[in-house]
Structure 1
Amino acid sequence: AARPGRARRADAPVHLADAERTLRDIVTGWKQQGRQPKTPDGRPRPDTAQRQQPYRVVLLIDYAARIPTDVTRLSDPERDFFLNCLKLAEDARPLPSPGSGRRLFNPVIWLADGERDLPTWLVAGSERVRTIGIPLPDLGGRRRMAELLAEEHTAACAPEDDGPVSLGKPRRPDEHDIDTFARATAGLTLRAMRESARIALDRGLSFAEMRDAVRVYQLGVKDNPWQADYIREQIQRGEADLRARVKGQEKAVGKALDILKRAALGLSGAQASHPGSRPRGVLFFAGPTGTGKTELAKSVAKLLFGTEDACLRFDMSEFSAPHSVDRLLGAPPGYVGYEAGGELTTAVRNDPFRVVLFDEIDKADKGVLDKFLQVLEDGRLTDGQGVTTYFSECVLIFTSNLGVRKRTGEGGGGEGRVAEPGMPYHQLEEIILANVKEHFVEEIGRPELMNRLGGNVVVFDYIDAKVAAEIFDSQVGNIQRVLREEQGVHLRLSDEAHQALSTYCTADVDNGGRGIGMLLETHLINPLARALFDQERLAGTAVTVTGVRPVGDGTVALDLRAVRTGAEGPGPGGGR
């Protein structure tokens, strides 16, 4: 039993039945029949009357969220326990308080991470039960904690005094370092600040490097690729590779590289007085379809992190329904998918150094768009399980076809193209930027989202005939490489066949490189697959496309010549 005047901490494992009896004892102050000592003739002993006043006790139940296995599906003993707790709250009476003359309750305080950790009908179903939210420490509280930790850090780093002469008190970190530490821990608890300081000591970091310790605490990753020299070298060397992969978009690639250089130097949002933990870089790719927006996003991932697998892609057309935000962040407690967590938050926690691509962002539900406001401003999101995910080391890329077409307001309210192929780039850029801004500000009422994007909108140009021919050659080369690696077949095109296929596939470039690829699939890959499928022992065969003939249904037939070389080489003959 707890002693009078002391708080009792009930964080040791107990059976629910025992806990219920303890709760009742505390609430009633241990007033039980037969408790007061009696005289031999059965009368209460007068000298113990004062001592038998009800105990004044506070019961503190820590880790209250761990009492139920699943708060949405209580077992019978758990339900009975919480029902009795609710009944006890209703039946409780104030007890006399010695010395004050007032009658007060013996309070029971439940400590939980959130209101949903206990049954809703317990915390919201009684006038005797009150929920008090404890806010995270504000800047002032974090700064006071930073000052205390600065003193501890200074003392811990001071050299031991082995001689009789004192070297004086070690220099205390300056106010700027203390303020930086306090601001870097926005959204964290004081305990998290202490853990960050411990990490700094363990890693031999100075107090001025405390932000690095906070990053390690938040992300759980020791090494920071953004601080490595090779990132800057890769960006310098990779410019030519980006332009080779994303053809005809020199200005868009150049602007994207400028933003990546800013990210590598940690200057994203540097114009703000306190940039906080914003994402490393933010890019919004806008422009006609098939012009290389998704390809550039994948190329950026490979450029920065060495592999396209570092690009986490979300097709936002799959998040157009209401409540689809639950897929990204995790469902609330009691809903399907709660245990699985959010697709976005889980993936970023597993690998915080990556490119996150939100394809066709304009198709997402407004509730999803609202979540990006917090990501772009604070660099963090809290999922349905209450776990915070940090995006401070990510590059976020949004793509959209916004601005190319616009409602005409005529007839049935259809859409017309307002940005035409062949238009000068500066004019195209001006039109698309204006229409993107109009979409966010006027059509969906999210001007703050446009403000967060700022000058990070990158406009892609239409591809012209010259670029279309380059894309065609590149995609034919991909087909040849795949055939060689997968089947050991060496594919070549005669000059006549190459010219005919190029004419078919690049006649209409409105759909950009994606449209060229679809036509290549129809006019080359499909008929080639039909011709090769029934052949045996393809490895070591050189196949030359000598002619392309239309067959009248929008498709073509290929004239092929196959030569078995029995070697790795493509065999004799002309063509490509």
Structure 2
Amino acid sequence: MKIPKWIREIECFSKIKSCIILEGNIYDEYPIFNEKKTECEDFYDLNSYVYEYYKKMGYNICYYDMINGFYNKQKQAELIDVFDSMYNQYSVDTFEEQYKEYKDNQDEKRTDGQIANSIAINYFDASEVIKTTLIESDRPTIFCVNYASRILTEPSHMSEQERAVFSNYLYASMNAKSNYGNDGITRQNILILIVDKINDIPTWFYLDNPYVKNIMITLPDKHVRKLYLDCYYDYFIDDEENEKDIQQFIDMTEGMKILDLRGIREFKRLGEITSGQLNDVISLYKYGIKENPWDDIEREKLENNKIKDRIKGQDVAVEKSISIIKRAKTGFSGLQHSSASKPKGILFFAGPTGTGKTELAKAIAELLFGDEGACRRFDMSEYSESHSAQKLFGAPPGYVGYESGGQLTNTIKEHPFSLLLFDEVEKASPTIWDKFLQILEDGRMTDGQGNTVYFSECLIVFTSNLGIYQDVGGVKKRVVDMNMSYNELNKVVTKGIQDYFFSKGKPEVLNRIGKNLIVFNFIQPEAAKEILFSQINKICKAVYSMKKIRIEFRNDIVKEKLYQKVLTNLEEGGRGVGNIVEEYFTTPLSTYVFDNRIENGQTIIIEDITGLNSDESELEMPKIIASLERN
């Protein structure tokens, strides 16, 4: 049976260290094993774990915290065993009175795990008692200080009393007495400090101190989660659920605490999910009661594929994106991987500027979630500095912005079902990819505040212009052009992306993206015509909607002239088409409406637009030549 590393360290170092600092996952439950380490007997909280383990080793255990003072909620009489033989050696006046009251009113009847009685005492006087006991007591004694992180206001700026408390702890750990029992085993008195993290206490207390051992309690790995499942098997597993469901449960609870598993167990027992399926119960626990948009996606939406009506000239990219969405919809995403909490899908859009990468991401969000606003866009040029990861994932405690959390993690907390668009990722700091790797692999991330957020219901889209330019002697040189076939363009861009990630030392990113790299083609003439006419029609409809003014063309000659102008600017893609439309249609149209005081109910019939011909002066502002009719 695999025993967690931190448990093995406690067993090992309790024999030679007089002070043990426990940090990390301290607010949880932990497995207790039988004497031969062949079976997990149950799961206990940390205080109960300390009691059960050290009691078997022959110790008396006393707990202390600033709220309750001294106590032992497992067996109150043990405090009397700890202090009785030392009673005359304590120099703390208030302790004598409190101890007498405790001894006279000890109550062994309470069995609900709460503290029935305690010896109230302030943390400085308590440190004096702990010091004296650990140094002088002939009875093997453990003092376990709970909430030790809360003793100090600021470890680097301690008050005199705070410094005195840890000085007492330091002196006690360096002079703790060793006791030789009748069994011939040496038992050294031990001080245990339970902290959220090691830097909550002064560094001079533990740094280079051979008497102190710091032990990190980690989140339960899959072996420990399986042990918990085995302990409470009947609460989790129904008759119709099989071994595959058990393995999926273990995978889906990656990063969770045992207390989280207990919450899931209670949800299932109480029947909060009518289906009773473990996957549904886990989803409820992770995200709360939410409608799952993935379940509401109508089959007809994907079959009709109306995205092609919006994204012109990128049929290959659209078809490949839709296939990945279908895979996510059917729940087949990531079946070949061990982790069941990966994002729903990962798309990496690459290619020339203005070819529809961002627009396709928005179209997918509208298709999936019925709202383009479900596309949560992050402009990665804002995260170019090495410390930018803090903006996305939250600053650690003690740093500016810690309270506000991370921009990305906050977004996922509020909108777990989203399309996350990371635009122009090549402009982000390479250090951010270390964080992205965890999201792409595990589908989760712990923010600066220690909260775990889950990305398993998200579709993640990266866009990039990588592979379009090559750095030659410090100068960016374009390595693709309009005359390339799509296959040739695809090879050049793909190689450019591979070279980039290898040069940054991030080849594993390519492994996570896999075959989801989609290269967009240059906007071809036919697609440019479709985009042009689509934008003109959109403008005409918007003008009528706002002003009740109709826009018509006398014939197709003007549109053809606009199209010929667009062909001179194809390398800028769809964005270039939009620029032409704005300069030669939208702007002169607004000027015409303003100068001629066009009123509601009129129709503008466009005869011509000056400035479109190549022989006309480029300095001349384009003008619309039109006639008016009353509707």
> Structures share a fold, TM > 0.5?
yes
Q: Kindly indicate whether the alpha-carbon contact (under 8 Å) linking 1:291 and 1:461 is maintained by their aligned counterparts in 2.
A: yes
Matched residue, 1:291: 355
**Out of 416, 428, 431, which is 2:489 matched to?**
428
CA displacement, residues 128-152 of structure 1 (integer Å, 9 cap, x when unaligned): 5543200122222111111122223
CA displacement, residues 291-342 of structure 1 (integer Å, 9 cap, x when unaligned): 1110000001011111011001111122122111111111222222211111
**Out of 551, 556, 574, which is 1:491 matched to?**
551
Matched residue, 2:573: 512
CA displacement, residues 355-393 of structure 1 (integer Å, 9 cap, x when unaligned): 000111112111012221111111111222222111111
Matched residue, 1:25: 129
Q: Distance in 2 between matches of 1:62 and 1:140?
A: 27
Q: Kindly indicate whether the alpha-carbon contact (under 8 Å) linking 2:606 and 2:624 is maintained by their aligned counterparts in 1.
A: yes
Q: Kindly indicate whether the alpha-carbon contact (under 8 Å) linking 1:65 and 1:117 is maintained by their aligned counterparts in 2.
A: yes
Code of the aligned partner of 2:366: K
Identical aligned pairs, as a percentage?
Answer: 34
CA displacement, residues 125-183 of structure 1 (integer Å, 9 cap, x when unaligned): 866554320012222211111112222346xx8xxxxxxxxxxxxx5964433333223
**Out of 168, 191, 198, which is 1:88 matched to?**
168
Shift of 1:90: 2.6
Matched residue, 1:167: none
Code of the aligned partner of 2:163: L
Q: Distance in 2 between matches of 1:128 and 1:91?
A: 10
**Out of 402, 409, 414, which is 1:338 matched to?**
402
Give the SS at the match of 1:340.
coil
The answer to whether 1:549 aligns with 2:610 is yes
Further displaced range: 58-67 or 318-327: 58-67
Q: Distance in 2 between matches of 1:494 and 1:118?
A: 81
Q: 1:430 to 1:264 in 2, by over 3 A?
A: same
Shift of 1:30: 9.5
Q: Kindly indicate whether the alpha-carbon contact (under 8 Å) linking 2:166 and 2:205 is maintained by their aligned counterparts in 1.
A: yes
Correspondence list, 1:142-181, <5 A: 142-153=225-236, 174-181=242-249
Q: Distance in 2 between matches of 1:266 and 1:360?
A: 29
CA displacement, residues 186-217 of structure 1 (integer Å, 9 cap, x when unaligned): 22121111111212223365998223322322
- Which TM-score applies when normalising by structure 1? 0.80
Shift of 1:501: 2.9
Q: 1:493 to 1:116 in 2, by over 3 A?
A: farther
Q: Distance in 2 between matches of 1:505 and 1:233?
A: 35
Q: 1:176 to 1:268 in 2, by over 3 A?
A: closer
CA displacement, residues 513-540 of structure 1 (integer Å, 9 cap, x when unaligned): 0111122222222333344456768444
Correspondence list, 1:38-437, <5 A: 57-65=141-149, 71=154, 79-92=159-172, 93-95=175-177, 97=179, 99=181, 104-112=188-196, 114-118=197-201, 124=207, 129-153=212-236, 174-203=242-271, 209-226=277-294, 228=295, 230-237=297-304, 239=305, 241-272=306-337, 274-407=338-471, 409=472, 412-437=473-498
CA displacement, residues 395-426 of structure 1 (integer Å, 9 cap, x when unaligned): 0001111223334x4xx453443332243322
Shift of 1:475: 1.3
Shift of 1:124: 4.6
Give the SS at the match of 2:482.
coil
Q: Distance in 2 between matches of 1:388 and 1:347?
A: 13
Give the SS at the match of 1:545.
strand
Q: 1:233 to 1:196 in 2, by over 3 A?
A: farther
Matched residue, 2:623: 558
Give the SS at the match of 1:366.
coil
Q: 1:437 to 1:13 in 2, by over 3 A?
A: same
Code of the aligned partner of 1:110: I
Matched residue, 2:519: 459
Q: Distance in 2 between matches of 1:30 and 1:122?
A: 17
Q: Distance in 1 between matches of 2:345 and 2:419?
A: 9
Give the SS at the match of 2:353.
coil
Q: 1:347 to 1:80 in 2, by over 3 A?
A: farther
Q: Distance in 2 between matches of 1:329 and 1:299?
A: 27
Q: Kindly indicate whether the alpha-carbon contact (under 8 Å) linking 2:380 and 2:428 is maintained by their aligned counterparts in 1.
A: yes
**Out of 509, 518, 521, which is 1:449 matched to?**
509
Q: Distance in 2 between matches of 1:191 and 1:526?
A: 62
Q: 1:87 to 1:367 in 2, by over 3 A?
A: same
Shift of 1:91: 2.5
Code of the aligned partner of 2:440: L
Q: Distance in 2 between matches of 1:484 and 1:543?
A: 11
Shift of 1:247: 0.3
Code of the aligned partner of 1:235: L
Matched residue, 2:44: none
Further displaced range: 91-100 or 137-146: 91-100
Code of the aligned partner of 1:136: L
In the alignment, structure 2 segments of 5+ residues that lack a partner are: 1-58, 70-119
Matched residue, 1:500: 561
Code of the aligned partner of 1:94: A
Q: Distance in 1 between matches of 2:161 and 2:605?
A: 80
CA displacement, residues 246-266 of structure 1 (integer Å, 9 cap, x when unaligned): 001111111111111111112
Q: Distance in 2 between matches of 1:472 and 1:242?
A: 17
Give the SS at the match of 2:277.
helix
Computed over aligned residues only, the root mean square deviation of the Cα atoms, in angstroms, reads 3.3
Q: Distance in 1 between matches of 2:298 and 2:261?
A: 29
Q: Distance in 1 between matches of 2:201 and 2:585?
A: 63
Q: Distance in 2 between matches of 1:232 and 1:116?
A: 54
Code of the aligned partner of 2:371: T
Q: Kindly indicate whether the alpha-carbon contact (under 8 Å) linking 2:156 and 2:202 is maintained by their aligned counterparts in 1.
A: no
Matched residue, 2:62: 7
Further displaced range: 511-520 or 432-441: 432-441
Q: 1:278 to 1:222 in 2, by over 3 A?
A: same
Shift of 1:236: 2.3
**Out of 472, 475, 492, which is 2:535 matched to?**
475
Q: Distance in 2 between matches of 1:30 and 1:424?
A: 80
Q: Distance in 2 between matches of 1:399 and 1:524?
A: 30
Q: Kindly indicate whether the alpha-carbon contact (under 8 Å) linking 1:149 and 1:194 is maintained by their aligned counterparts in 2.
A: no
Q: Kindly indicate whether the alpha-carbon contact (under 8 Å) linking 1:352 and 1:394 is maintained by their aligned counterparts in 2.
A: yes
- Which TM-score applies when normalising by structure 2? 0.74
Q: Distance in 2 between matches of 1:502 and 1:451?
A: 42
Shift of 1:244: 0.7
Code of the aligned partner of 2:379: D
Q: Kindly indicate whether the alpha-carbon contact (under 8 Å) linking 1:349 and 1:389 is maintained by their aligned counterparts in 2.
A: yes
Q: Distance in 1 between matches of 2:124 and 2:299?
A: 63
Alignment size in residue pairs: 516
In the alignment, structure 1 segments of 5+ residues that lack a partner are: 32-51, 158-170, 566-570, 572-576
Q: 1:493 to 1:152 in 2, by over 3 A?
A: same
Q: Distance in 2 between matches of 1:30 and 1:105?
A: 6
Code of the aligned partner of 2:266: R
Q: 1:324 to 1:555 in 2, by over 3 A?
A: farther
Further displaced range: 532-541 or 415-424: 532-541
Give the SS at the match of 1:284.
strand
